Chain A
Amino acid sequence: MSERLRTHAWPGTYDGEAKPRMGFFTDTSICIGCKACEVACKEWNRVPESPQGFTGDSYDNTVDLGANSWRHVAFVEQRKPLGIDAAERSLAEAANLDQLVAETGLQTYQEGDGLRWLMASDVCKHCTEAACLEVCPTGALFRTEFGTVVVQEDVCNGCGYCVPACPFGVLDQREGDGRVWKCTLCYDRLKDDQEPACAQACPTDSIQFGELDDLRERARARVEALAEAGAERAQLYLAGDDDGIGGAGAFFLLLDDPEVYGLPPDPVDATRDLGSTWAAAGVAAAALGAALAAVVLGGRR
């Protein structure tokens, strides 16, 4: 367990006011796709409606996270739980079931036809190494005393630098407003010792809120139990400190690879290598300068 998790989030910043780092553990294995999280989030945070129309993408008509959708439930219909390749098989390919019946002599198509419907509620990850926060020139994005990453709506000037910086595509400018809006992990509720609206509304406790180190412990036990029960591809996503974002404040238990849910398998804090990049650039510039000098000087010779 990293020091940063066990004690207080960013003690250097908040001194005595620092709180234990809080986060979400979203256990997708018990998500029933009710979307209560989406609605509760919008109700509490007064997020504008975002009608996308009928998408035909299973039961998902929210499409993705954005300025007006801070929770998004993904629906993945899988013919066989075999990872990304299976999920990508086209309907036309999968349609040839009559032949399957003829070959196997089965009476119905269900038999031998593993069908799985994955549901998962996505949200801002509240990264440990948050690129959005690093690139924000105004300080609108900040790290709270709970270790969460929040946009201050009265400071954001809508420059949009944070939008491409986010490795998950969470940050988004609101149309007609220009500013960036995203999950605050219900900062206002946290200040009143209330859990975030989505977690409170979740009927099955798929979305669990709490101190991050408690959540990680719970998640590890859960994924082990699932593995014992035969869920071979069950895995934790963003639950460690050693990934490209230094771990997330909102992490997930997935039943398949992240790509299956539309999540990046190896997200990287885009600013992480900035220091070495600048150093390399400096070396290159010096070399170039030396070369130019040589040319110029040589030319004079």
Chain B
Amino acid sequence: MGSNMAEQHPVGFQWVIEAKERGATVMHVDPRFTRTSAMADLHAPLRPGTDIVFLGAVINHIMSGRREFTEYVRHYTNARVIIKESFRDTDELDGYFSGFEQEDGLYRVDSWGYAGTSGELTAGKREQTGDVSGDQAHGAHGMKLEHGEPPEEDWTLQHPRCVFQILRRHYARYTPEMVEEVCGVPRERFLQIAETLCRNSGPERTGAICYAVGWTQHTVGVQMIRAASIIQLLLGNVGRPGGGVLALRGHANIQGSTDIPTLYDILPGYIPMPHPTSRDDLARFVELNGPDTGAWGSLDAYVTSLLKAWWGEAATADNQFAYSYLPRIDGDHSHYPMMLRMLDGRTRGFVVIGQNPAVGSANSGLMRRALANLEWLVVRDMSEIETAAFWHDSPEIEAGETRPEEIATEVFFLPAAAHTEKDGTFTNTQRLLQWHHKAVEPPGDCRSDLWFAYQLGQRIRARLAGSPLQRDRPLLDLTWDYPLQGPKQEPDADAVMQEINGRHADGRFVSRYQELRADGSTSCGSWIHAGIYADGVNQTARKKPGREQNWIAPEWGWAWPGNRHILYNRASADPQGRPWSERKRYVWWDADEGSWQSLGDVPDFEPTTPPDYTPPDGATGTSAIRGDAPFILHPDGLGWLYAPQGLVDGPLPTHYEPEESPVPNRLYAVRASPTRQRFERPGNPYNPADAQPGADVFPFVLGTYRLTEHHTAGGMSRTVPYLAELQPELFCEVSPQLAALRGLEHGGWATIATTRAAIEARVMVTERVKPLRVQGRTLHTVGLPYHWGRKGLVKGDAANELLGLALDRNVHISEYKVATCDIRPGRRPRGPALAALLSDYRRRAGVGR
């Protein structure tokens, strides 16, 4: 669900094909009939943005039929944990959880906690609050529990306030009939899918759920994924071979760029970025951000080792290991708020690497207006992408709304090396890092991103040399001494990996994260990657063929953490440590050896902690995790059916309509997610949603997506002749019914409009797009791939121009996957006539500019 795996991950999809050959059933629940659906045993189209209704109904199907994997659920999940008496569910508050504050539109999460924990501990033990950045997510490590155990539990799962019963009540209204009415999926088809999932679960069997940006790019994206996790925990499909929730990442190495992040609010290895509240007090930072129990109980060791990796000798116990050198975040610096600050003239400069916001971001026109408010812009890419060219070639210039002379931004375009022209790693979907060797030298002035970052650091440091100012110490004290090599004097990527792996004080390489210490005797650039250079060997460069090792292939590349291929794999054994079944044997306890054994993976558990281990009072870290609690990253070692903290929009996935939806919320009085992030400002109007006046001006559902033939915003594919010719023009996919309704001609042109923009596309009439019967009416969908722009060998309008900014506040990702629109035959107007068309739409819809 939420994935078009065959088209977006064709190489990974070979394993789906292979599984199918071996008897697996492949089911595709997705709004569109794609190349993935073509290969599936079954396809069920559902209305975009209604996935939680579908998934919630699966949960209901499991629980009402007692189809859960009972022993797994009782021992390994928090089903037995009793929640605070003050917690109120959406059933009682008609769509809200307890703690909602109308004035700021955010939740006070205290009432969501485990009974017996104090409000102070669940809510106050995090630096981030919703009003600063919305990122309690990283406080998910934060809950304090005495020796890792929830204070109140009911192992019979009968207590009315235990998670199991709360879950059962919460999803009781998510019925097959509701799926039919809200999602447009017939109940028989739904039941067929739910039953197939149930039958392929239990001791003898497992099932996997794959998702991608079809889930993340919604105002409730995180909760869609949570809903899948609940299903998999109930069915016992986590930590076992063939199970899991597989996050198919948006493009190559996006996993790597969250592990060693390009994100504003985390440090390497998912350590939260400090806020000003922890001041210069490292101990206070650790206290606020880490629990005492579970693997995050060693946060002090992870962050101290990171500081030692970055500042080496300058990081000492006396200066709290240079903790004060780390930058602080004082607000929401995510992509769209950043762009809007730029629009308001509050950002002077912008460096863009590996991104093309003039095409790839929602409301692209607004993004370009923001770029025009900069003093300077640096774009590093392989060709002059739209973001670099916005000042002389843009839809605004074409329409006569602005002229290059009026744009003061000074643009620097720097040529970048491609991945084939540099050493480095890709991290794929399942945390597997694979080294790639440079095949050729980059041409001309092209350089790697590593070279750029290194040189930028060197040049800034040269400018600051001799500075007496304390504020310059963080830059001057950096360990910035990578060997240079080759004709282009490129920094040695292998040396960077050694720093990421980390060393002991005597220079030996760290071999696992458990070796890291908080006393400054170890360095490690990313604790989850500790061991990636164990024994002085680049573990990611290992390429032993699969046929020469076991099927887990531990000697092909390296998976973080500690080369563990299946996370939480302790769950593949029963509470006593025996395999659930011979067929699904993976990790088990060997009493004679006194350790956990595996078919070939690394057990994701303390190696010698026996299954019957009970933590003593005062235990911390992983010593505080019971021998039958596989989820060692959580402070209680349990899989969270119910998330007592870590999310800003609720402990349980709940259906809300998208920001722009043509129908009401059938489940609650609250229409859309109460915590979604909106930006009411000129240039970002929203189409009126259901029942609001003017909603009928935009009667169709719009979805954007990608094609196999192109790469994201097109910078790497529209410029390549062999790829460009395969999909040469923007097209919209519509059903024969919608084509008849609007007079659209196959192969002709159509104009698609929202309150933000109007674009043109060639018309593809296809029965792969189905009108859906939803709540008694026929809903039509317009599908738009978003790859095109004004540069490259093939050109066209950019689909993201149409979208408004509506974000999931947990992660600040915009709702690219669903909006409303109108469609009409013919090309869009040019020049002032385009603005006139848009203002006519806005006038009819009753919205401002």
Contact for B185 among A30, A35, A108, CB less than 8 A: A108
| B145 in contact (CB, < 8 A) | no
Considering only residues 33-48 of chain B, those with a C-beta below 8 Å from chain A are: 33, 35-39, 43-45
Stretch at the interface among A44-52, A127-135, A267-275, A277-285: A44-52
| A33 in contact (CB, < 8 A) | yes
Q: Interface readout for A224-246 with B: 1 if CB under 8 Å, 0 if not?
A: 00000000000000000000000
Contact call B766/A77, Cβ cutoff below 8 A:
yes
| B606 in contact (CB, < 8 A) | no
Main secondary structure of the interface of A (DSSP, over half): loop
Contact for A58 among B39, B180, B766, CB less than 8 A: B766
Number of A residues near B (Cβ < 8 Å) is 44
Least CB distance, B734 to chain A, in whole angstroms: 11
Least CB distance, A31 to chain B, in whole angstroms: 9
| A91 in contact (CB, < 8 A) | yes
How distant is the Cα of A60 from the Cα of B726 in the complex, in angstroms?
A: 7
Write out the residue numbers on chain B whose beta carbons fall within 8 Å of the beta carbon of A54. 728-729, 731, 747, 762
Write out the residue numbers on chain A whose beta carbons fall within 8 Å of the beta carbon of B794. 51
Main secondary structure of the interface of B (DSSP, over half): mixed
Contact call A94/B773, Cβ cutoff below 8 A:
no
How distant is the Cα of A26 from the Cα of B16 in the complex, in angstroms?
A: 19
Stretch at the interface among A109-117, A152-160, A176-184: A109-117
| A119 in contact (CB, < 8 A) | yes
Contact call A95/B184, Cβ cutoff below 8 A:
no
How distant is the Cα of A126 from the Cα of B709 in the complex, in angstroms?
A: 28
What is the number of contacts between chain A and chain B, taking CB atoms within 8 Å?
135
Write out the residue numbers on chain B whose beta carbons fall within 8 Å of the beta carbon of A208. none
Contact call B709/A116, Cβ cutoff below 8 A:
no
Considering only residues 8-37 of chain B, those with a C-beta below 8 Å from chain A are: 10-11, 13-14, 17, 21, 33, 35-37
| A266 in contact (CB, < 8 A) | no
Contact call B33/A117, Cβ cutoff below 8 A:
yes
Considering only residues 1-45 of chain A, those with a C-beta below 8 Å from chain B are: 30, 32-36, 38-39, 42-43
Write out the residue numbers on chain B whose beta carbons fall within 8 Å of the beta carbon of A97. 736-737, 771
| B708 in contact (CB, < 8 A) | yes
Contact call A108/B186, Cβ cutoff below 8 A:
yes
Contact call A117/B38, Cβ cutoff below 8 A:
yes
Identity of the chain A residue whose Cβ is nearest the Cβ of B727 in the assembled complex: A61
| A106 in contact (CB, < 8 A) | yes
Contact for A35 among B6, B37, B726, B746, CB less than 8 A: B726
Identity of the chain A residue whose Cβ is nearest the Cβ of B187 in the assembled complex: A107
How distant is the Cα of A4 from the Cα of B325 in the complex, in angstroms?
A: 76
Contact call B17/A108, Cβ cutoff below 8 A:
no
Contact call B773/A110, Cβ cutoff below 8 A:
no
Identity of the chain A residue whose Cβ is nearest the Cβ of B731 in the assembled complex: A54
How distant is the Cα of A122 from the Cα of B304 in the complex, in angstroms?
A: 59
Write out the residue numbers on chain B whose beta carbons fall within 8 Å of the beta carbon of A91. 736, 746, 765, 767
How distant is the Cα of A117 from the Cα of B34 in the complex, in angstroms?
A: 9
Identity of the chain B residue whose Cβ is nearest the Cβ of A79 in the assembled complex: B767
Interface centre among A43, A61, A115 (most CB of B within 10 A): A115
Contact call A107/B708, Cβ cutoff below 8 A:
no
How distant is the Cα of A52 from the Cα of B724 in the complex, in angstroms?
A: 11
Write out the residue numbers on chain B whose beta carbons fall within 8 Å of the beta carbon of A49. 721-722, 725
Q: Give 19 A-B contacts (CB < 8 Å), ordered by A residue.
A: A30-B21, A32-B7, A32-B17, A32-B36, A33-B35, A36-B10, A39-B722, A39-B726, A49-B725, A51-B728, A52-B728, A56-B746, A56-B764, A61-B727, A108-B45, A111-B186, A115-B43, A119-B35, A119-B38
Residues of A within 8 A of B (CB): 30, 32-36, 38-39, 42-43, 49-54, 56, 58-59, 61-62, 77, 79, 91-92, 94-95, 97-98, 101, 106-111, 115-119, 203-205
**Given A56-B746, A61-B728, 5 more contacts at CB 8 Å?**
A38-B722, A51-B725, A58-B766, A108-B773, A115-B33
